[in-house]
Amino acid sequence: MLSVVPSPVVVRAPSKVNLHLGVGDLRADGYHDLTTVFQALSLSDDLRLAPAASLTVRVTGEGAAQVPTDRTNLVWQAAVALAHLAGRAPLVEIAIAKGIPVAGGMAGGSADAAAALVGLNELWDLGLGRDELASVAAELGSDVPFALHGGTALGTGRGEQLLPVLSRNTFHWVLALAKDGLSTPSVFRELDRLREEGDPPRLGHPQKLLQALAAGDPHALAPLLGNDLQAAALSLKPELRRTLRAGVGAGALAGLVSGSGPTCAFLCETEEAAIAVAAELAGAGVCRSVRTASGPVPGARVLDHEPQA
């Protein structure tokens, strides 16, 4: 019988911004309890997965030189985990075209891992449902389930327990990418240090923010955006204060550090306003580069099948 080699699968993986990131105290297991509202953004990575004689990872695009191509890459771990579940060998070549800044607080590695799960489910014809993929995702990292889920969601626990959030309208963002990355564990450690020294303000419950999202009103949403990690990211990278001021000075409704940073995210009134803010920020010399994005967008999803060579 002829065996048919499956066609490569292309998957798009969205980035995320935390509209609200409330960080609890350090737990005995080394993690922090989080209350967060994620929004998936159109700034994304594309993965191409093709059958191969062994597991290989290639990376091109934004920050590719900083991304490992060995077993420490989250897509490698995703492939091994899913192959184990399916009782097969992880024989796949994964090519990642990065658009999401590396170590930028936008969960690029997690997005790639979610995309690998979705793509391999298709390539290997496993027929796994979203819930089954989500439990593999949660083992790979706290932000991986949201990258699968997409849209807008409330995350608790380490951020992996998700509830969908009603969000009307599309929101428009400008993202200021920094020169170097920030490691997420070092930002959490800095927050713990700041809390030992003093009592930096903590966010309350995001009830009002959830109402602003349901109303789809960027003016109501803007003053409610907040991130408990921002003080720590600014402490490690004080130059981000200038970036945040410049974005608001250029006409954004509000700006905040995205996740653990150092990317700064600016909420704008309209798409046109975002383009104008991006142009002014790009000329202000306060960041490495600037992108516009919109959200919410869906979670990791198959784009198309490429024809066989």
Q: Which one, 37 or 102, has the nearer CB to ligand ATP?
A: 102
| Interface pick for ligand ATP out of 112, 122, 190, 228 (rule CB under 6 A) | 112
Residues 33 and 155: their CA atoms lie apart, in Å, by 10
One of 16, 98, 112, 228 is an active-site residue; which one?
16
- Interface with ligand ATP (CB under 6 A), residue total 23
| Interface pick for ligand ATP out of 68, 164, 223, 283 (rule CB under 6 A) | 68
Q: Which one, 120 or 250, has the nearer CB to ligand ATP?
A: 120
One of 45, 46, 112, 143 is an active-site residue; which one?
143
Indicate the Cα dihedral angle 165, 112, 227, 175, nearest 10°: -100
Residue 36 interacting with ligand ATP (CB under 6 A): no
Q: How far is the CB of 71 from ligand ATP (least distance, A)?
A: 10
Residue 260 interacting with ligand ATP (CB under 6 A): yes
Residue 109 interacting with ligand ATP (CB under 6 A): yes
**Contact letters for ligand ATP, residues 218-257 (x by CB under 6 A):** ----------------------------------------
Stretch that binds ligand ATP, among 97-105, 123-131, 192-200, 288-296 (CB under 6 A): 97-105
Near ligand ATP in 182-201, by CB under 6 A: 184
The neighbouring-strand residues paired with 156 are 161
Residues 103 and 66: their CA atoms lie apart, in Å, by 9
Burial (CB < 10 A; 0-12, 13-18, 19+), residue 192, is: middle
Note the residue count of the chain.
309
Residue nearest to ligand ATP (CB): 109
Which residues would be at the binding site for ligand ATP (CB under 6 A)? 66-68, 72-75, 96, 102-110, 112, 143, 181, 184, 259-260
Catalytic residues: 16, 143
